[in-house]
Structure formats: C-alpha cells, structure tokens
Chain A
Amino acid sequence: MKPLFTIKAGGPTSWAVRVVCAAALVYVLLWIPTSGSNSLIDTATTALTLMGAALSLNLLLGFTGQISLGHSAFFGIGAYTTAVCVTRWGWSPLKTLPIAFAVAFVVGALVSLPALRIKGVYLALVTLTLGVVFPQFIKWPKIEWLTGGSRGLTDTGFKFDKNNRTFELFGWNPWGNLRGENVKPFYFWIAVVIVLIIYLICRGLVKSRVGRSLVAIRDNSTAAAVMGVNLALTKGLVFGLSAAMCALPGSLTAMKGTVTPDTALLTVIGSITFLIVMVVGGAGTLWGPIIGAIVYQFITEKTGDWVEPDKIPSLLRPFFSWSKTPPAAGIFGLSLVVLMFVAPLGLAGFWKQVVGRVVAVVPKPAGSTTLEPTAPSDGIPTWQPEEPLAEQ
C-alpha cells in the first residue's frame, strides 16, 4: 500500500510539522499549570519524574544495550544528595542539582567497571544488587547521623516564606510561587526543565557519532571495537552519564519536602517502574520514554481510582466481581500485556508504523549522487538502482 503523503526530510513541510508540534507542546505545558487542577499538576509532575528516569535508563539500556536494574539507587542518590545538602548544610535546593549529578556520575562510572566484563542477565544481577542494597545502606546505623536512617529526612525542600519573591507578567503567573500559596506549578516547571536537560543530552548523543557507536555496541560489540570504538571508555561514560541524569528527577522528589528510604521509587520497585515505562514507550527511541511515562501515569491514576467495585467501569465490572481486593493492580498488569501485544516495539514504534502507512518521509540524498530518492512503495524510501558495480 502506497502512503498517502510524501514529505521530504528537511523540506518546508517537515519544518511546518515540527513548528506545529512544538507550538502544541508549549501550549500544553503552559495550560497544565495555569488551567489544570491541582491533581493534574501533581500527575504531570510525577509523569515528568518518571520520564526523566526512563530517558536516562533508555540511553544505557535502550541504545547501548547495557541492562541496569539499579537505577532506583541512582535516583535515590539524587534524592539523598539534595536532602542532605539542604538539611545538614542549608543549601538552596536548586544548587544541589549539579552536586547530585556529579555524585551519581562517579557512582555510575564505578558500577560500570564490572559491566565492562559481564553482560546480559549477569549484569542485570550485579545492578539489581545495587538497587536492593541502596535502601539498606541508607538505613545503616553508622550513617544515620547523615541520612536520618529509616525515618528519613524532612524539610528537604524549599523554605516557604510570605516574603519570597514572585515573578508575574502583567498579572499572569504560570510559574506558581514559593510563598506557600501556589507551589505546585513551581515543582512542575523544575520537572520540565530537568526532563528538557536530560532529553537534550540524550538527543545530542544519539544523533551523533557517539550515538552511532552506542547502537553499534548494542548490536555487535566486537565489530564496534574493530571500527575503533573504545568499549571500556564509552560504556563507562554512558553508565556514569545515565546514572547522573537519573539523579536529577530523584533530586526533584527530595525538593518536595521529605525523603525516606522506603519511598517506592528509591527501592527496586523504582528500577522496575523505569524499565516498564521505557519498554512500554519504546526502548531505543528518543520519544519512547516520554510517551511511555505519560501513558504509564495515566493508566496508574485511572486504575488507582477503582478501589470500590462501583467505581470500576461497568464494562469491566463483571470480570473483576470475584475479586475481594481492589483490582487496580490486575487491570494495570492486563493493560500492559495488551499494550505489549499490540505494540511490541513500544508505543513509539507503534506510532511510527501507523504514521508510516499514511506519510512517507523521503530522506535527504547521501553523498554526491545526483539521483533523487524516490517515493517509497513499502514505506522504505529507495533510490532508482544504479548499475551495480558487479555487473560492469
């Protein structure tokens, strides 16, 4: 089947589409904190937190093929770095972000040392250990003076004061304020900035020589080395960078006020959650974790409401009438199964397939050939074949 439209990559149409999409994104980002309900802003902030963590994991696992089940620990390192800096040394929370980034980078790079020798399930086990040990380490009595032990730390975020400054543009204030009256938009915007930073780092890497070498390591590391990719250095840097980026959304959770070692995202549950978000969205794609986090948070919130039998939609009620416990988890799991069945490459891959049926993107020609790429018949663009060299 021939796609209906053909767009040239880098042509005016493709730029128009980009501008429209960017405008829509900015509109949504402004609409949420100004017109959305408080719970919507909370939901969006949580989704952005997951997005940041899943994007970091995606760089390591989706693109480079190095599995990590220890990202909850890096997330926690971010949270605790911020919490400790704020409570013990009175830092301003935003200034702790670079510190969290640096600390997690060092730990991540150290964890990469075993990753240079092992791969697959063995690497999964080693990193899983990190994820399991982290909350226990925080509770260790000898460092309780620093971390607050299992009770955690409180007052780890911003200090609200009636005299804090606000920024208003002609009476319009999408940012919220820190006078304690309207703080949710403020967290939302920090989350947006964090995700933007992480996204730009990932995008810059992926669309470059480095990104190609990462996928090469994932696809065939021996061949990558023969092409000149320094496996040890590259894996170490990616591990460190992925850990460092994951610490930023962790930091954000601490900025909201309290941190305890049993917070779900700081335990292994967190690692699994990031993994689910990434896979649902589409591993190894730039937009996968972004779509995944939105969908994941949406399903979680929806099914989370269904604690009373009469809150379950009537269509689904008969299937869960036998259950005495709230069916939220079951419905959530089932929807994931269905999702993975419909979109095995994640939602981003599914989206590409669907759009590819309708719109064909013709890439720019590569090299000094004068042949124009032609509209594809099967969604894959092609050139008019030249005389192959072999038949000359």
Chain B
Amino acid sequence: MPLLEVQDVTVRFGGIVALDGLSFEIEEGHICGLIGPNGAGKTTMFNVVSRIYQPTRGSVRFRDEELLTVPAHGIAKLGIARTFQNLALFPSMTLLENVMVGAHSLGRIGFGRAISRIGAASDNRRTRDHAGDLLHQLGLGALAFKAADGLPFGTLKRLEIARALAAQPKFLLLDEPAAGLPHGEVDGLAETIRGIRDQFDLTVLLVEHHMSMVMGISDRVVVMEFGRKIADGTPAEIQNDERVIEAYLGAPA
C-alpha cells in the first residue's frame, strides 16, 4: 500500500488550471523527486497536500485516509510536515522557538493548562530540549538563540527542515531546499536529507530544480508539466525519457 495516493486532483484558480487530473503514488520510505518547469504546479501540489488549497476535484489519500476532509491544522497530527519555497518562518522568534512551534502538534498544553500552569513548565522543558537537539543535529546549534530575522537564506532553509522535523512526521515535503545554497553546500544538504530519512523513518517528497541532487537521492521521480504528470519512474528511466528531455531536462549538449 502506498503512503500517499494522489488521484485525479484538479485545482482551478479562476480560468487557470494549475493542476489537471494529476495522479501519482509514493511508496513508504522512498525519497520521491517532483520535478518540472516553473509553473508546472509542483508547489500547488504541496499546498493541496498541506490543505492550503482545496482542489475542485480528486482525492488525496494518506495511509488510506482521505486528506481532503481534514482541516489544515489537522495535517501535522497525521504526520505530514513541510517546508516552504520562499520561507515561512517566524521572524521575531529565535531559531530555538521556531523549532519549538514546529512541535506544536505534539503538545497538549491548551489555554486552561497554560493559564493554570499545570504541566506547562515540564512541557516547555521537553519541547525545548527536543528542539535544541534537532538544531544541533542540523548544524544550527550555535545559532539557537539568534532571531531568525536576517540570517542567510541557506541557514533559514535548514531551519525550516529542523522545524518540520520537530513534529516527528512520517511524511516530509521539501519545497526547493537547495534553492539559494552555494554549490558546495548542495551535496551536504543531499547527505542531510538522506540521513534524516534513514534516522526518522521518513518518506520524502522533494521538489527541486537542482537535477544532480534530485537524481542522486531520489528513489523515484515524478515529472510534471502544465499541471499534468508526464513521466514517473526511477531516476535512470526519467533521464532517458524523451518527453522529459524535451519538456524540462533539455538534450545533452
């Protein structure tokens, strides 16, 4: 049984069709690359899975449960976490606090217990330690008490991964994690992604334009164009697929 089943998903914004009957599946434990030219609908797909957009048609099943009836804030609890292409951090908070918010779905302290302080201090300590460990693991420990505002883009991209991991997800969606990274750091990032997949038993959906990285770490690759899937297979199959070469990869020089 696949972990995520996307069936016939269509998203329309006014007259524009962003996703047009898209279907694909992701096996548990895989790193699945999602590639395609700009405007192909990759980020729209992310926003459908994280319930920011409501598709006009179709179904998205996660562990055999229909996602499209779950509210946006219920996704994290199911074990789905994501990062954002253009960063959606909390700039006024420190890195540590950002990651602590990432663990929101694991916490049980509501308004009543927060005001009465019943169990709130121990909850804070637990969350804080958990967040601190994740920051150290992603090499951001030295920056834990700095405000997120104004740090380099690559650092913040990494912070987004740490924040997403704080929810202890089963399924992680990474939206262009290598964008804005200097070339030398891309290999390190690929290593990190593979490392966290193995350590946390993750399934990863990866949108990325950095082809050597996608082809290097993906178990499967889905190629999109104009909101449709045009190919689906192992990296080797995709690299030799004529439609993909024509639409996106370009012919080898």
A interface with B by C-beta (< 8 Å): 200-201, 204-205, 207-213, 215-216, 218-220, 222-231, 237, 241, 284, 363, 365-369, 371, 373, 380-392
Contact = CB atoms under 8 A, between A and B. Distances in A.
B124 A369 contact: no
Interface string B181-220: 0000100110110010000000000000000000000000
Interface in B156-172: 158, 163, 167
B96 interface: yes
Contacts of B91: 219
A383 B117 CA distance: 30
Contacts of A225: 52, 72-73
Given A201-B115, A209-B124, 12 more contacts: A204-B114, A209-B104, A212-B93, A216-B93, A220-B88, A223-B84, A223-B89, A226-B50, A229-B104, A385-B141, A389-B192, A390-B188
A227 B195 contact: no
B144 A219 contact: no
Most buried by A among B50, B96, B107, B131: B107
B110 interface: yes
B138 interface: yes
A363 B144 CA distance: 10
B225 interface: no
Given A220-B89, A226-B72, A226-B76, A388 B144 contact: no
Contacts of B10: none
Contacts of A212: 93, 97, 100-101, 104
9 contacts: A204-B114, A209-B107, A210-B110, A219-B92, A224-B104, A226-B72, A228-B104, A231-B72, A380-B145
Interface string B115-140: 11100100110011111111111110
B205 to A, nearest CB: 14
A385 B146 CA distance: 13
A388 B152 CA distance: 15
Nearest to A200: B115
B153 interface: no
B101 A385 contact: no
A223 B90 contact: yes
Top 8 closest pairs, chain A to chain B, by CB? A366-B132, A367-B132, A390-B188, A388-B139, A228-B105, A228-B76, A208-B114, A223-B88
Nearest to A384: B142
Contacts of A237: 111
B102 interface: yes
B142 A382 contact: yes
A288 B75 CA distance: 36
A367 B131 contact: yes
Contact of A366 (B117, B128, B163, B189): B128
Interface string B72-83: 111111000110
A316 B138 CA distance: 58
B101 A369 contact: no
Most buried by B among A205, A216, A367: A367
A231 B75 CA distance: 13
Nearest to B128: A366
A381 B110 CA distance: 30
| Chain B interface helix/strand/loop/mixed | helix
A226 B75 contact: yes
A227 B82 CA distance: 9
Nearest to B117: A204
Given A216-B90, A223-B89, A226-B76, A389 B132 contact: no
A60 to B, nearest CB: 14
Given A216-B90, A226-B72, A389 B101 contact: no
A64 to B, nearest CB: 12
Contact of A209 (B52, B81, B114, B143): B114
B132 A365 contact: yes
Contacts of B109: 208-210
Contacts of B74: 228
A390 B143 contact: no
A226 B141 contact: no
A224 B138 contact: no
Contact of A389 (B97, B129, B131, B195): B195
Contacts of A219: 89-93
Most buried by A among B71, B117, B144: B144
Given A223-B89, A226-B50, A381 B145 contact: yes
A215 B73 contact: no
B96 A366 contact: yes
A230 B188 CA distance: 35
A387 B137 CA distance: 10
Nearest to A226: B50
Contacts of B105: 227-228
B77 A228 contact: yes
Contacts of A384: 142
Most buried by A among B104, B113, B135, B137: B104
A205 B76 contact: no
B51 to A, nearest CB: 8
A205 B75 contact: no
A109 B252 CA distance: 62
A216 B145 CA distance: 17
B133 A368 contact: yes
Contact of B141 (A209, A380, A386): A386
Nearest to B187: A390
Contacts of B111: 205, 210, 237, 241
